[in-house]
A = this chain, B = another copy of it.
Amino acid sequence: MLSSTIVQKFGGSSVADAEKFRLCAQHALAARRRGQRVVIVVSAMGDATDDLIELAEKAMPQPDRRELDQLLATGEQVSIAMMALTLKGLGVPAISLTGQQAAIRTDNVHGRASIQSIDSARLNTLLDAGQVAVVAGFQGVSPSGDVTTLGRGGSDTTAVALAATLGGACEIYKDVDGVYTADPRLVPAAKRLPRVRYDEMLEAAALGSQVLHPRAVEMAKRFGVPVRVVHSHLHDPEDLAGGTWIVGETDPMEARAVANVVLKKNVGRISLRGVNNIAGVQARVFGPLAERSLPIDDIIQEDDGPGTINLTWTMDKKDLLEAAPIVQNVAGAVRAQSLRIDGVEVGSGLVTLSAVGAGMRTTPGVAAKMFEALAQEGIRVENITTSEIRISCVLAESDGARAAKCVHAAFGLG
């Protein structure tokens, strides 16, 4: 009798070739032996998505997004068929489902679609019949029946959304064996965290931690889906303790001031100088960016003399190209109404270093300790933003790695 439901998600590097599919399949077999209903979510094989984008740009330099989605969705479709064939080859009943066949319904924002609903009828029928359902990550179907994609990392979101819909837990299999106090490639002294809180992961993910897509963490938090991050090939399929569990509450003893340090690279920054601080000016700046679904990281507003402000925000460097002209237009329109915007500055070559910890709420002096550590290394801080459980500093790209090491050490995470 099939007691619980587990959704297992495998990233592109975990299914880079036929042999790796067989390794991943072992995790599904182990879950079946435990009597669980098993759903598998897979990304495109290896670099397939990048290869498809490259191909598309040969046909149209800035590819139409609807057609790009039609193209990119094939990457995951190849993977689900391969995983289903691999399982059947191992004698396990399995069936592959595209986003549309799995009834994953999204809005029609091609390239960055949001899941609106999942009709789990077909999935439940298949799972109750003992089939392993292999669902394409990253994709869905729009109201008009077109293929949509959820954007990079969207497969994590697909997996958590399915776990929420089917009432199960979610395992994210990656080429790392959990969440670390920092990126081990950057900070060799980094350690694996056995448990982290949704809030901490949310901050870390939003800050560019590659471990889990922020939308996936957000959804896991909203629906209380327990998520475990484990290594796809090093991890023993029978070991339920390995990796990092992402949960609602952690043992208060674990609530250290700073759980981990995250360095976000490729940060872009836009500043509006000398802006008349009239009511609604912020909305007029960020509205058009939101319409184009351009994600904003941190916003800093500071006074710039009587009645005027400087408005600064960070965003992905890759979005600057699209955002800059939009902001220039807004500035122009504002000036045309004889309101002031002195200048627009666009900067890149930046990183954001953040210290994240749920215990920060109750531990004074965390910020001071971070600034002191950076100061001792002679690292200049360009901007500072804070939230309830994190402190972020914008730094020059060249200072990134050194800053991560010294802050990680300062909080005794090594």
A: residues with CB less than 8 A from B are: 18, 21, 52, 55-56, 58-61, 63-64, 66-68, 70-71, 73-74, 77-78, 80-82, 84-86, 88-89, 95-96, 98, 100-101, 145-147
Contacts and interface: CB of A to CB of B under 8 A. Distances in A.
Contacts of A85: 56, 59-60, 63-64, 67-68, 71
A89 B74 contact: no
Among A55, A74, A86, find the residue whose CB has the most chain B CB atoms closer than 10 A.
A74
A91 to B, nearest CB: 10
B89 A61 contact: yes
B70 A88 contact: no
A6 to B, nearest CB: 22
Nearest to A62: B89
Nearest to A122: B145
A70 B74 contact: no
A187 to B, nearest CB: 39
Given A67-B96, A96-B70, A146-B101, A78 B60 contact: no
Contacts of A95: 66-67
Contacts of A84: 64, 67, 70
11 contacts: A55-B78, A56-B85, A59-B85, A60-B86, A61-B89, A63-B85, A67-B88, A70-B80, A70-B98, A71-B85, A74-B81
A70 B98 CA distance: 9
Nearest to A134: B67
